[in-house]
Amino acid sequence: MSSLATTARTKGEQTRQTILDAAIERFGHDGFRSTSVAEVARGAEVGGTVAYAYFENKEALFNAALDEDVAGVINEAVTSILDPGADNAWRGRLIFTLIEALEQHPLARRVVAGLEPQVTGRVIELPALADLRLAIADRLRLGQEAGLVRPDIDPDAVGSGSVTLFISLLMSTVQFGLDVVDVYGPDVMALLGAAIDPIPPEAQAAEGT
């Protein structure tokens, strides 16, 4: 590939990213209905029709911006559980990292808050969540190797279910306030613990009698 083609491609990627950044800010502040593609273009300092070279319509631009912003939140969440230490503290770190990360990602927070009902149902299927499911599954496997997680569970299935629980708690927290974490967070942690923590020897002995 010629250097000219490489330069042109790089410039195009940069322009697309600039448009996405502007879309995240505008959609995050004003919402889908109150934001036009022209307003996003002005925020990106590009011509009014340039966005259409990268996104078919406003809905496609909104969905791409949402995917991008949620990916930023999830990347922070994944990082919070990558500590190689074999312990179970990642469960608590994860929910607080998600809450803190949302404050820096306006469009993701708007959607999680339920202010864009037309896409709320899409949240659980966003591409970035696959990375979080995989990271949790890997963390569970590490725990199994260290004897901190039950050996009889399926890490992939439990990882997927855990993400659903965490996203539900996150939505409740954003919509109803941080008190939700104090009230229901311990219950979620208890449920996860009951599902994945090894059965204490004394409990196993009691079951065998």
| Residue 135 resides in a domain | yes
| Residue 30 resides in a domain | no
Query: Per the structure block, which two tokens stand in for 187?
Result: 């219950």
| Residue 143 resides in a domain | yes
| Residue 118 resides in a domain | yes
| Residue 3 resides in a domain | no
Q: What is the pLDDT of residue 24?
A: 97
Q: What is the pLDDT of residue 181?
A: 86
Q: Helix 155-176 crosses helix 90-102 at what angle (to 10 degrees)? A: 40
What is the reported pTM? 0.84
Q: Which ranges of the chain have pLDDT less than 50?
A: 1-8, 209
| Residue 37 resides in a domain | no
| Residue 43 resides in a domain | no
Q: Residue 122: give the domain boundaries.
A: 58-198
Q: What is the pLDDT of residue 141?
A: 92
DSSP 177: -
* CATH number of the domain bearing residue 88: 1.10.357.10
Q: What is the pLDDT of residue 199?
A: 78
As for how many domains the chain has, the answer is 1
Q: What is the pLDDT of residue 2?
A: 43
Q: What is the pLDDT of residue 4?
A: 46
Q: What is the pLDDT of residue 207?
A: 54
Classify burial at 115, counting beta carbons within 10 Å of its beta carbon; exposed 0-12, middle 13-18, buried 19 or more: middle
Nearest to residue 74, comparing CAs of 112, 40, 44?
112
Nearest to residue 73, comparing CAs of 53, 90, 89, 94?
94
| Residue 38 resides in a domain | no
Cα 203 to Cα 22: distance, rounded to the nearest angstrom: 56
